[in-house]
Structure 1
C-alpha cells in the first residue's frame, strides 16, 4: 500500500466506481512523457483515498496500435455498461489525437474501440473528455493545440451513441487568450490543456481547464450559463488553482464530498496527484483549506 504522494503521475483522474465500491486513479504514468516510445497507462485503486494499491497495467498498446509516443491524460467513464477510456496519443507523420478505448472492468485491460482517433485527423488535438448532455447525447470536449493554431482552442463535438465516430463538425467554444488570467508562453503562444465539465446545482455548466497564468501552470474556470455544452462560455476572473499545478477534475466521494484533483508541481519528475475538498456555493467552486 502507498500514499498518493508516493505515486508519480500527471493529469490525474479519479473514478468513483459504485459497482466495485472502489476509487481508481488514472493519469500519465510513463517515465518520459514527452519523447520516447509510449509504454501505456498504469492505474491505482483505493477504498478510502488514503491508501492506494498498484500499479496495475490498465492499458498496454497492441502491436498494431497506431500511437507511438505521448501517451497522455487518460480518463475513464462508466457508460452504457462499459468502461471507456479517452486518452491522447501521437505518432510520426500523424497528428496527436484522442483515442477511445473500452474495457469491462476499471482496471482493464482496455482495448482500442476503433482503429483511429475520434478527433479530426488533420488537427493536433489532445485531452478529450466525455460529456453526456441533458438529452443523453454524448459529446467530447477537447483541445486544439497552440502548436498548430498559436492561440490554443477548446472544441466540443457530438459523438455517436456507441462513441465510435463524430456526428457533425466540432464547435469552437473559446480560445485561450479570451480568459483574462492566461499568459502567453514565449510571448505569443496560448496553451489550452485538460478540459473537464461539471454541472452545478443551479444547472450551469462549469469547465475546468489549464493554461499558463502569471504564477506558472494554472487552472481556471469557464462557465456556460445556458447549461448547454455549446455555450456561450464566460471565464471567471479568479483561477481555481493558481500556481504550478493543474490539469484537474472533480469527483464525489462515496460519502458525497466534492473533491478536486490536480497534479503539482508541473515539473518532471516531481509531479504528484493532490486531492482537495471543494464546496459549491451559488454556482462557484471554493477550495477548502
Structure 2
C-alpha cells in the first residue's frame, strides 16, 4: 500500500465512488512527464492517505494518434458510462489538444471515443474538463496555450450529446491577464512576446449559485492556484476574478470534491518540480461563494 508521499503525480483528479466508499485517483503519472507517454493509471483508496495500485486504465496501441505528453486525465460519469478527458500531443501535426475516451468501469480499459482531439486542430490546447450547464448541455472547458497566444486563455466549446465531438466554434471566457494575481514572464523560445499561463480549469457550483472556476498560473515564477467566478452561474459569465490566489506554495492544477463525509476537499499537485510532485489534499470551507482552508477547531 502506498502513501501520498510515494506517488509521483501531476494534475490529480479524484472520483468519489460513494457506493463503494472508495476514492479513485487519476493524474499524469509518466515518470518522464514531458516526453513519451505510456498511458494512464488509477490509484484506489478509502481515506485519501493510503492507496492501492497503480492499476492501468489506458494503454495506447500502435495506431493511437499520440505517443507523447499524456497529461491531465479526468474521469466523469455521464449517461451511464465513464468518460476520460485527457491531453495528448499529436504525432502528425505536433499540436496538443484534449480527446475523450470511454469505459463502462472506473478501472477501464478506456478506449478512444472522440475522433482524435475535440479542441481545435490548429490550436495548442490542453486540460479539457467536462461541464454540464444549467440547461443540461455538455461543454468542454479548456486552455488555449500561452505558447501560441502569449496571454493564455480559458475557452469553452459545446459538445455533442454523446460527447463524441464538438459543436460549433469555441468561445473565449477570459485571458489570464484579466486576473490581478498572475504575473507575466518572457521565454527564450518566444523572446518578443509577454506570456501569462492558464492551466487546469475546473468548474464548481457554489452554494450561493455562483459558478466557480479553479485554474492555475504563476506568481513570480511560483505555481499557484486561483479562483474566478461567474456571478450569473452561467458558463458564459461575465467572469470576475478573486484578487488573491487560493494556494501559493508552488502547487496547482487542482479540483474540488466532497469526500465520503460531505467535506469539501481541494486536491492539487505540489511542488511543481519533476520528479518531486505529489498529491496534496486540503479541506476547505465555503461561505457565500468564498473558499478558504478549514481551520481545525
Counterparts of 1:139 and 1:20 in 2: how far apart (Å)?
Answer: 28
Whether 1:232 aligns to 2:238 is yes
5 Å matches for 1:101-112? 101-112=101-112
Extract unaligned runs of 5+ from structure 2.
Answer: 188-193
Q: Name the SS of the counterpart of 1:70 in structure 2.
A: strand
Residue 190 of structure 2 corresponds to none
2:258 to 241, 252, 261: 252
Question: TM-score normalized by structure 2?
Answer: 0.94
The root-mean-square deviation of aligned C-alpha atoms, in Å, is: 1.2
Q: 1:183: how far off?
A: 0.7
Whether 1:91 aligns to 2:90 is yes
Counterparts of 1:142 and 1:74 in 2: how far apart (Å)?
Answer: 13
Extract unaligned runs of 5+ from structure 1.
Answer: none
Residue 124 of structure 1 corresponds to 124
Counterparts of 1:19 and 1:121 in 2: how far apart (Å)?
Answer: 39
1:61-90 deviation per Cα after TM superposition (whole angstroms, max 9, x unaligned): 122110121100001011111011000000
Question: For structure 1, which segment, 254-263 or 87-96, has the greater mean C-alpha deviation from structure 2 after superposition?
Answer: 87-96
Q: 1:21: how far off?
A: 2.9
Residue 70 of structure 2 corresponds to 71
Tell me which protein shows more strand as a share of its residues.
2
Closer, same or farther in 2 for the Cα pair 1:185/1:215, shift >3 Å?
A: closer
1:288 to 274, 286, 294: 294
Q: 1:50: how far off?
A: 2.3
Question: TM-score normalized by structure 1?
Answer: 0.97
Q: Once superposed, which parts of structure 1, at least 4 consecutive aligned residues long, lie more than 4 Å away?
A: none
Q: Name the SS of the counterpart of 2:116 in structure 1.
A: coil
Residue 40 of structure 1 corresponds to 39
Counterparts of 1:83 and 1:185 in 2: how far apart (Å)?
Answer: 38
1:173-228 deviation per Cα after TM superposition (whole angstroms, max 9, x unaligned): 00011111111122711111000000101110000000011361101100000100
**Count of matched residue pairs:** 288
On the 8 A contact 2:114/2:163 being kept in 1, the answer is: no
Counterparts of 2:253 and 2:230 in 1: how far apart (Å)?
Answer: 20
